[in-house]
Structure 1
């Protein structure tokens, strides 16, 4: 059976009636939502009261390991290698021979100089006896004395040329890779090997100039390497550069780390933590922190169980906690869990208030920074 549709005037009246009904419903919802009266119930949250805590943390940086002493062994003259007396990775003592160069001509020159010295000594001895008998002038004796001293100097010179043909370790340490073989021709500057004293590692790293007031000689340094996961190498700050780099505005710090077992090697990249002195500060769980771009904030509980979003300046972090530098004071109560449901001025219902900072009731973590130990309930 065909259905008759309303006429055009009736359809217009029907549309106007529906629009009025929807507007009335929307107005009622808006009025009910204002101030939480007759609208949404208070948000269920848990809070804590902010209190000062004892805080100890580290200044973080990346550092490069350097040997206590390090040198590239080279020759000082041009000559062929007669023998190599070390192998890669050997530990050598100070003064130990490493390479001997061909020295036949130099050895012959020493023998010649020694023969001239003996002759000069004999001539001088005769001249001295004749001078004692006043058979020659004193000037002749002085001439022979000068000749004798020149002969002695010539012997010393020739012996030095022989010594230059034996390359020795300038200090005790570990040798690097051997880069030459017997029969190789070396010239001044030709690398033969490297020598590193790694009994102590010098660890260099940089901090922004703003950290200068927090650095001091003797501070404990904890260094960690990916080569030795889970291990910490402990040292102390040995020196702080007297200048700040005018380009990077950073200051270089050097720490010394004992390395008797030789596990740390020059050139390694290490994670560095310089321990700062313990201090009293305000800290809150990272769970309570709201992050909007570079702006950090928390919800502070005001009178009448309303919350206010207040900006805060944060410092360092540790184990699920964050240091509050400014924006809060001791005794303030903040929302820890349930922040995702809040807005500025919202009403709340606290179901698990805590009086100790850094602890919150058991609940599923919300938001960023939820790592660390699960807090315990308290009242």
Structure 2
């Protein structure tokens, strides 16, 4: 009689045993794949990056603004009387000296009045001289001599008045400078206030610009000013802060600053728009490469290297910028190491491999050459 614990005949058959073995092999392979996938999921290789150490630097930057150029002296030449122009004695764009005649108005009547006044003056002088001699001889009263003296002074004043009317008919340059466009011609009738031309002294440019009131503590007389114009690419015009307005605009909350820039070559013209940079005092601060900065809206951050070659994303407050560098106001301290290149591959807590540190790179290279990441020998394939 068969034992109750004996294996049935079909279970001991060769085909069944083969099926059992095949099922066990498949189960082992499936478990191996699952374990391998889980291992891959938790074992990402470290990201290759370049780092730099944060150190204090000497920082000198500029307060930026837009400014308008003005001439040292500027005026619109106009007529002070109504009269016809007799001659125009200048050309557009001409350099003139102070007192040089520009326009002569018709002055026939005024010249005749001068001649008449001079004749009256000569007559008054003769009468006075005769009265003085008679008074010396006590032939006339002293009161009569005083009357003749008054008449002589009035005649002299009349001559001066008539000469002034003639002078008003000659329009002269009030100061040395460059004339603008000629707006009148000989024979034109000009009236009081009619513009004839403009005159600008451009030997020195007054540059006016504004800053927010928050920048007032950073401004001082004598600060260096660097001005740049699109008309002269690559050129920097250097000047100094000459004055700071005594009032802050109550509407815009801005303060006006005036700088003076020498302009002996005349390349700057009144009315030009200039980019202005006022140099601030040099100071010690922390600075990082601009490439290391992560900007997300108004929030700035960097990846700081932590122990164990991990990175931590830390927020920072930035100040001014210059030539590929950014000033860090807060968020980092001297000696911190940050990631400069390779930030796009990182997130908070990522592992890194620093190729910027030469010694570390050499050691890692030696380890990788020992076969840690190399291919298996062919015989194991």
**TM-score (norm. length: structure 1):** 0.82
Map 1:313-352; keep pairs closer than 5 Å.
313-352=317-356
Post-superposition CA distance 1:118-160 (Å, at most 9, x none): 1111111122222222222222221111111111111100000
The answer (yes or no) to whether the contact 1:49–1:354 under 8 Å persists in 2 is no
Secondary structure at the counterpart of residue 325 of structure 1 = strand
Distance 1:148 1:262 in 2: 53
Post-superposition CA distance 1:333-352 (Å, at most 9, x none): 11112222222233333232
The structure 2 residue matched to 1:281, chosen from 274, 285, 292, is 285
Residues 1:132 and 2:116 are matched in the alignment:
no
Map 1:183-222; keep pairs closer than 5 Å.
183-222=187-226
The structure 2 residue matched to 1:173, chosen from 166, 174, 177, is 177
Distance 1:133 1:84 in 2: 57
Residues 1:62 and 2:77 are matched in the alignment:
no
Residues 1:245 and 2:246 are matched in the alignment:
no
Deviation (angstroms), 1:42:
3.1
Counterpart of 2:362? none
Secondary structure at the counterpart of residue 196 of structure 2 = strand
Total equivalences in the alignment = 327
Larger radius of gyration: 2
Distance 1:143 1:313 in 2: 89
Map 1:227-306; keep pairs closer than 5 Å.
227-306=231-310
Distance 1:335 1:230 in 2: 34
Secondary structure at the counterpart of residue 95 of structure 1 = coil
Secondary structure at the counterpart of residue 121 of structure 2 = helix
Distance 2:82 2:166 in 1: 13
Secondary structure at the counterpart of residue 133 of structure 2 = helix
Distance 1:258 1:104 in 2: 45
Deviation (angstroms), 1:277:
2.3
The answer (yes or no) to whether the contact 1:68–1:197 under 8 Å persists in 2 is yes
Secondary structure at the counterpart of residue 189 of structure 1 = coil
Post-superposition CA distance 1:260-312 (Å, at most 9, x none): 11111111111112222222211101111010101111111223333222111
Structure 1 segments, 4+ long, off by >3 Å, are none
Distance 2:84 2:342 in 1: 80
Deviation (angstroms), 1:57:
1.8
Distance 1:43 1:263 in 2: 54
Residues 1:226 and 2:223 are matched in the alignment:
no
**TM-score (norm. length: structure 2):** 0.81
Distance 1:307 1:287 in 2: 16
Deviation (angstroms), 1:354:
8.2
Secondary structure at the counterpart of residue 236 of structure 1 = strand
Counterpart of 2:375? none
